[in-house]
Every structure is written in structure tokens, then in C-alpha cells.
Amino acid sequence: MVERVGDAVTQVSPGDHVVCSWNPHCGHCFYCERDQPILCEPFARHQPAGHLLDGESRYTLDGAKLHHFSVVSSHAEYCVVPESGAIRVPEAIPFDRACLIGCGVMTGVGAATRVARVEAGASVAVIGCGAVGLNALQGAALEQAAVIVAVDRDPAREAIARSFGATHFVLAGDAGAIDQVKNLTAGRGTDYVFECAGSEASLQLGFEVVRPGGHAVILGKTAVNQKVSLRFGSLMGEKRIVRSSYGGARPRRDFPWLAQAYLDGKLKLDELISLRLPLDRINEGFDAMRRGEIIRAVVEFPA
Ligand SMILES: NC(=O)c1ccc[n+]([C@@H]2O[C@H](COP(=O)([O-])OP(=O)(O)OC[C@H]3O[C@@H](n4cnc5c(N)ncnc54)[C@H](O)[C@@H]3O)[C@@H](O)[C@H]2O)c1
Ligand SMILES: [Zn+2]
């Protein structure tokens, strides 16, 4: 909830319920003017240094400067964010559900609906069924894709993947995984692939199972200096490959839309929450995520 606003703020007021965006944008740099706010230059310049878009920090501790984490720093009772990083959503959506919209939900649902624009009747493969992949699955289902193949190396993800819209499940790492996906689409491969695991193996699989002329959307992330080897033939055949941060997010357009879709019963959020924790036990949530035991842990603050 918004506690206080600066003099120049016009879009939100104290008392508003908001979801924070980890990619706020200035609105007038080279990329913002070209409708690519995810590439906003002040954000790219200052976020890695732990600063807000003006290159400054608003935090101190005992006189020493502190930094902002990804322009959000919401692992605290209060945080300072730029106006474009606080997006008003309907008050009816509970905070513990609304907070999920700001990263994995936007990224996965947006990849299917905004970036790829999956059409009704299409075939889709989603590789990696964590929070991002599950939301790519439900984005494909929202667009009425006909064949939705969930792929994960963990067989325990099959049940939740199916509940988020998967029509089939393939175990990654099986010798026949590529053929299993292709056989569901008359041997061609799927119209769309969403890579949501962030590893060399999942990237390799993604390019193999997207059909000639199809779209591969890479959402996962490896270390930026890691080399990834690909079979060149897997890139051929007029495949269209795009890497997306944040699923084409336009937060002021999309966060209220996603919140309303939840309130209308069209978007699953409750099922993403495996664990609720108070702030002082936050590291237990990170540990459980690292072990792959949970989808998302939500930090609850006293009302
Ligand atoms: N593009 C973006 O804006 C954006 C936003 C958030 C997260 N991410 C990235 O997306 C990826 C997924 O995030 P998450 O939070 O859902 O992660 P997660 O760890 O919760 O889930 C990853 C899933 O992938 C599966 N997996 C791992 N290796 C695999 C393989 N080789 N083949 C198939 N499945 C495999 C795991 O079993 C797990 O179910 C990460 O790389 C993360 O950094 C990107
Ligand atoms: Zn900008």
C-alpha cells in the first residue's frame, strides 16, 4: 500500500494498493520512445549499481548509504520506488496474491499473450514448470492453445502443470523427449516454445522441438558469460527466436488486467503459493526454492 508520495507524483496516492515492478522506466529515453521500455536506459545504467532511475539511493543506515535491490527492495516493511514502479491494482485482490503478478506471472502469461501472441488452436511446449513456466502454460491456455506440452526434469511437476493448462507432460532428460514432443504435433514440433528453465540443456531442447517457421521465446536465464552450445540445424527452418525479459510487460496496462483476471476466476494465483513466512524467516523460503521444493514463498507482513 502507498504510504507517502513525492511532490511530482500523479499516478498513485496514499492508501492505493499497488504492485511493484522490477523494471520501472523513465518514459522518455531512446528505448522508451521506441516502445521498448524494458530496455530503458536510466534503468539499465542505474539498476545494477543498486540505485533508482536518477542514479541515487534513498536509503541510509546509521549514516551509511544502502542500496536498492532491482529498484524494488520489497523484502522490508517499507520501500522507496519510482512512480513507474508502483502500479495501482484493484483493492479486492489480497496483497499476498497481488505480489505474484510483479514477476513470474507477468513474465509467463505475458510471454504467451503479449510477446508470442499464441493463437487459438496452436501447439505450445513449455520447458521448465516453475512459477514462470506455469504462467506460460496458463497464458497459452487463456489463448485457447489446443496442444500444450509441459516439459520438466522433475516428474513431480506433472500434476501442477496439468492444473495450469498442460494437455501433455514430457520428462526432460528422457532419451526420447524430443520425439515425444514432436509426435504430439505430427512430427513437426510445436508452433511455440517457451523456454523457462534457464540452462544449456533446456535451451538445446527448446530449439529442437519448435517446428520450422515456429517461435521460440527464451525466458530462462543462465549466467551471462556462460557459453551455450547449440546444434546449428536446430536453429534452421525459418525459426523465429526472441529473448524476453518480463513478457512484454507494460505494467500500467497489464498488472490491473492480470489482477482483474484473478478476481474473475480466469487466472490462477493461489496455487503458486507453496509457503507463507514472516520476514524474519525469509531465508527458509529461498532455501526451499533452491532445493526445488516449492513454487513460490510469500512473505507476510502484519496488517
Ligand atoms: N525473462 C524474465 O523476465 C524472467 C523473470 C523471472 C525469472 N526468469 C528466469 O526464468 C527461469 C525460471 O524461473 P522460475 O522462477 O520459474 O524457476 P524455478 O527454479 O522455480 O523453476 C525452474 C523449473 O525448470 C525445471 N528444469 C530445470 N532444468 C530443466 C531442464 N533441463 N529441462 C526441463 N526442465 C528443467 C525445474 O525442475 C523447475 O521446475 C529462471 O532461469 C529465471 O532466472 C526470467
Ligand atoms: Zn527510459
Beta bridge partners of 215: 192, 240
12 belongs to a structural domain: no
Give the pLDDT confidence score for residue 173 in this predicted structure: 87
Q: Whole-angstrom Cα distance, residue 238 to residue 230? A: 16
Is 205 inside a domain boundary?
yes
Q: Which 3 state secondary structure label does DSSP give 302?
A: coil
Reduced to 3 states, what is the DSSP secondary structure of residue 94? coil
**Distance from the CA of 196 to the center of ligand 1, in angstroms?**
5
Kindly state whether residues 226 and 120 are assigned to the same domain: yes
Q: Ligand 2: distance of its center to the CA of 30 in Å?
A: 7
In a domain, 107, yes or no: no
What pLDDT is stored for residue 210 in this prediction? 98
Report the pLDDT value the prediction gives residue 175, as an integer from 0 to 100.
87
The CA-based angle 75-106-250, given to 5 degrees, is: 100
Mean pLDDT of 12-39: 97
Nearest residue (by CA) to ligand 1, atom 15, is 131
Task: Say whether both 22 and 123 belong to one domain.
Answer: no
Counting ligands in written order, which one lies closest to the CA of residue 224?
A: 1
Kindly state whether residue 198 falls inside one of the protein's structural domains: yes
Round the CA-based radius of gyration of the chain to a whole number and report it: 20
Q: Is the pLDDT of residue 302 over 90?
A: no
- The model carries a pTM of 0.97
Q: What is the pLDDT of residues 202-249, one digit of tens each?
A: 999 999 999 999 999 999 999 999 999 999 999 999 999 999 999 999
* Cα-to-centroid distance, 221 and ligand 1 (Å): 8
What is the number of the ligand 1 atom nearest to the C-alpha of 244?
1
Residue where a domain stops, chosen among 245, 260, 282:
245
- The distance from CA 59 to its chain's CA centroid, rounded to whole angstroms, is 27
Give pLDDT, residue 174.
Answer: 85
Q: Is 85 in the pocket of ligand 1 (CB under 6 A)?
A: no
Whether ligand 1 lies within 6 angstroms of the CB of 128 is answered as yes
Question: Which atom number of ligand 1 is nearest to the Cα of residue 243?
Answer: 1
Based on the fold, state whether residues 235 and 121 are members of the same structural domain. yes
The answer to whether the CB of 167 is under 6 A from ligand 1 is: no
Over the chain, what is the mean pLDDT?
Answer: 97
Name the residue at shortest CA distance from atom 25 of ligand 1: 128
Whether 267 and 223 share a structural domain: no
- Angle at the Cα of 70 from the Cα atoms of 111 and 22, rounded to 5 degrees: 35
Mean pLDDT of 172-177: 91
Residues 262 and 159 in one domain: no
Distance in Å, CA 117 to ligand 1 centroid: 21
Please give the C-alpha separations between residue 53 and each of 12, 49, 197, 244, in angstroms, as whole numbers: 18, 11, 30, 21
Q: Which of ligand 1's atoms lies nearest the C-alpha of 296? A: 20
Q: How many domains does the chain have?
A: 2
Report the alpha-carbon distance of residue 141 to residue 137 in Å, rounded. Answer: 6
Judge if 53 and 160 occupy the same domain.
Answer: no
Question: What would the pLDDT profile of 30-69 be if each residue is shown by its tens digit?
Answer: 999 999 999 999 999 999 999 999 999 999 999 999 999 9
Which CATH number goes with the domain that contains 258?
3.90.180.10
Last residue of a domain, one of 227, 245, 263: 245
- 59 with 82, same domain? yes
Domain that holds residue 69: 18-101+250-300
Mutate to test the pocket of ligand 1, among 138, 152, 205 (most ligand atoms within 8 A of CB): 152
Q: Is residue 33 part of a domain?
A: yes
Which grid coordinates are listed for 247?
A: 513478457
The answer on 225 and 123 residing in a single domain is: yes
Q: Pick the last residue of a domain from 245, 268, 284.
A: 245
> Residue 290 pLDDT more than 80?
yes
Question: pLDDT tens across 182-206, in order?
Answer: 999 999 999 999 999 999 999 999 9
Write the residue with the smallest CA distance to atom 24 of ligand 1: 128
**CA atoms of 260 and 257, how far apart (whole Å):** 5
Ligand 1, atom 20, lies closest to the CA of 130
For ligand 1, pick from 129, 196, 207 the residue to mutate: most ligand atoms within 8 Å of CB: 196
Instruction: Evaluate whether residue 66 is within a structural domain.
Output: yes
Claim to verify: residue 189 and residue 277 sit in the same structural domain = no
Residues 251 and 114: their CA atoms lie apart, in Å, by 12
Task: Tell me: do 231 and 197 sit in the same domain.
Answer: yes
Q: What is the largest CA-CA distance in the chain?
A: 65
Decide: helix, strand or coil at residue 71. Answer: coil
Residue to mutate, 100, 195, 221, 295, ligand 1, most ligand atoms under 8 Å from C-beta? 221
* Residue 109 domain flag: no
Please check whether residues 274 and 198 belong to one and the same domain.
Answer: no
Same domain, yes or no: 293 and 201: no
| pLDDT at 188 (0 to 100) | 98
Examine residue 108 and state whether it is found in any structural domain, yes or no. no
Average pLDDT over residues 78-90: 97
Q: Counting ligands in written order, which one lies closest to the CA of residue 133?
A: 1
